[in-house]
């Protein structure tokens, strides 16, 4: 954590690696499995090929989810975002280069805004609804 990170005191237990639990042969699981022929030097499974030691606890010091790892490799998040941004700039530069050599004039496009049509609205005033209409020569809405 950096200087601005929260300071959290961590309580370290007496046996942080759980060695007393792992080496204790008098526990229920060890007794139960030894009745079926299991030994501490063998793993679990049909041929004894499974895991020999217990699953170790890993203390997380960040707020990331379970299984999330810090991206220290070149395929990290910041690197990928930078590559995406570079690709975007590259595509934009290609389109401007394609447009400049011909120096073709842009085509003029006629757009109908629809200003000469009448505009009808419904408004409410003191609990009553009424329509208003705007015509070209008039100022403001007219009550119908």
Where the chain has pLDDT below 70, the residues are 1-3, 5, 57-63, 67-80, 97-144
Residue 29's pLDDT is what? 86
**Residue ranges with strand state E in the chain:** 119-125, 128-134, 142-143
Residue 143's pLDDT is what? 54
Domains in the chain: boundaries = 13-50
Report d(CA 121, CA 31) in Å as an integer: 85
Q: What is the pTM of this model?
A: 0.31
């Amino acid at each position: 954590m950096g200087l601005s990170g929260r300071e959290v005191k961590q309580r370290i237990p007496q046996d942080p690696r759980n060695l007393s639990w792992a080496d204790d042969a008098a526990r229920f699981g060890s007794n139960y499995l030894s009745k079926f022929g299991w030994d501490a030097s063998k793993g679990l499974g049909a041929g004894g090929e499974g895991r020999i030691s217990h699953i170790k606890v890993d203390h997380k010091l960040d707020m990331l989810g379970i299984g999330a790892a810090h991206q220290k490799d070149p395929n990290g998040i910041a690197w990928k975002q930078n590559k995406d941004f570079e690709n975007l700039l590259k595509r934009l530069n290609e389109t401007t280069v394609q447009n400049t050599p011909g120096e073709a004039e842009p085509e003029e496009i006629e757009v109908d805004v629809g200003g000469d049509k009448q505009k009808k609205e419904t408004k409410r005033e003191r609990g009553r609804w009424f329509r208003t209409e705007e015509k070209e020569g008039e100022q403001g809405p007219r009550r119908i």
